[in-house]
Amino acid sequence: MRVAYLINQYPKVSHTFIRREIAALERQGLTVDRYALRGWDDAPADPLDLAEQARTRYLVQGGVVALLQAGWAVLRRRPGAWWHALQQAVRLGRRADRPLPLHIVYFLEACQLWLWLQEAPVAHVHAHFGTNATEVALLLHALGGPGYSFTVHGPEEFDKPEALHLADKIAAARAVVAISSFGRSQLWRWVPLAHWPKVVEVHCGLDAEFFDVPRQPVPDVPRLVCVGRLCEQKGQLLLVQAAAALKAQGLAFELILAGDGPMRADVERAIAALGVADCVRITGWISGTQVRDWIDASRALVLPSFAEGLPVVVMEAMARGRPVITTAVAGIPELVRHGQDGWLLTAGSVEAVRDAMAACLNTPAAELARMSEGAAQRVRVRHDADHEAARLATLFRECGAADSAGHAKTLTLGGREWC
């Protein structure tokens, strides 16, 4: 079976889980064509992302003229569907989070993809994130293209579901994938009961590079690592405050902030203002191998997020045999068990982060190793990439069969029927 993956930006340092998912689907025997809106002019730090960039076709790489030409070509070939899809784009542009002209651009991107799929037909389209890539998939389907599904990660989709017209995207989709039970519940809030069964839970997965390599012993050094984009929702500013409180208590430690992002300057100013430059440092963007190296070199991962879906880096740290210090938000408590796999905290509390960091730094390495063993086993059971990809492959095959048989076909996945 041939499917198309459609992503806003690909590859991307924070989207390695998509790359792993595609590779796992290909091991399941599917052919996966990569399409993205942006990302052709990035310089990936990871060699695997560089290879993915070469395999991806970019809808807007040709510029406005190419998109207008694509729109004109589809109008001449399918005028009725063209007008129908354009009306859909205008409707989705009303009361949206982005201005109407951008939705017209999404329509033209759908036209470009429709033309490309005439040359390389696919049975099904899958998008990641319920934002603009999913809108392009919806408009492609309105043009007469294949049916689509999409994965919702959060928290963006949960923050503004009405502005994203999330209910419309779910209603038009063949299936919707939620990465956690929490995520599924948030989608159920916005659609009628009749659409609930089409929302299925499939986890993001890790592959053999995490599971089938010897785990490094927990190091006897007072080092913690936070891996993530430097942005409001990840809570790094709160983490710097907690680090300052620990330093004031006289506790020796090192905190590595592995990542980069729009709030880097704010985080750097906070580090300087609070006088913790000697124990807190930022690495900038690093490769997947470097992320694993920093996790291995630390006693635990700390991630004091305010909002999340279910962070892949939490899975990665647990798989590498490290406990985690993180907040009990969104899907995180479905994976992390307080006191067993790490520390679950109340979000937004400097004191809670400070105390958990201190507890971790003062916990003997042998006790951390015991916690780590259980964490590694738990993430392997719940987040094996090949197991989750097998479920996705079944879903895509069922969706493709439904598309060829007509919209009324009933699908079955995991013993459940859905339309």
Task: Report pLDDT for 409.
Answer: 40
Residue 45 reports pLDDT greater than 80:
no
Q: Which residue has the tokens 């993915």?
A: 52
Angle at 159 between CA 103 and CA 140, to 5 degrees: 30
Its sign, for the CA torsion 42, 48, 51, 57, is negative
- DSSP-derived pairing of the beta strands 411-413 and 342-345: unpaired
Inter-residue contact 309 to 179 (CB < 8 Å): yes
DSSP H/E element including 3: strand 2-9
- 219-249 pLDDT, tens digit each: 989 999 999 999 999 999 999 999 999 999 9
Reported as a single tens digit per residue, the pLDDT across 46-55 is 889 999 999 9
What pLDDT, on the 0 to 100 scale, is given for residue 87? 98
Burial class (CB within 10 angstroms; exposed 0-12, middle 13-18, buried 19+) of 197: middle
Q: What is the pLDDT of residue 212?
A: 82
413 falls in which pLDDT band (50, 70, 90)? very low
pTM: 0.93
**CB atoms < 10 A from the CB of 62, how many?**
12
Summarised one tens digit per residue, pLDDT across range 265-285 is 999 999 999 999 999 999 999
CB 36 within 8 A of CB 10: yes
Residue-range domains of the chain with CATH: 2-205+385-418 (3.40.50.2000), 213-382 (3.40.50.2000)
354-365 pLDDT, tens per residue? 999 999 999 998
Q: Which residues pair with 255 in a beta bridge?
A: 224, 280
pLDDT for residue 406: 63
**The pLDDT of residue 13:** 83
Residue whose C-alpha is closest to residue 298's, from 273, 281, 274, 275: 281
User: What integer pLDDT is reported at residue 116 of this predicted model?
Assistant: 98
Q: Quick: pLDDT tens for 303-335.
A: 999 999 999 999 999 999 999 999 999 999 999
Q: Which helix (H) or strand (E) covers residue 411, if one does? A: strand 411-413
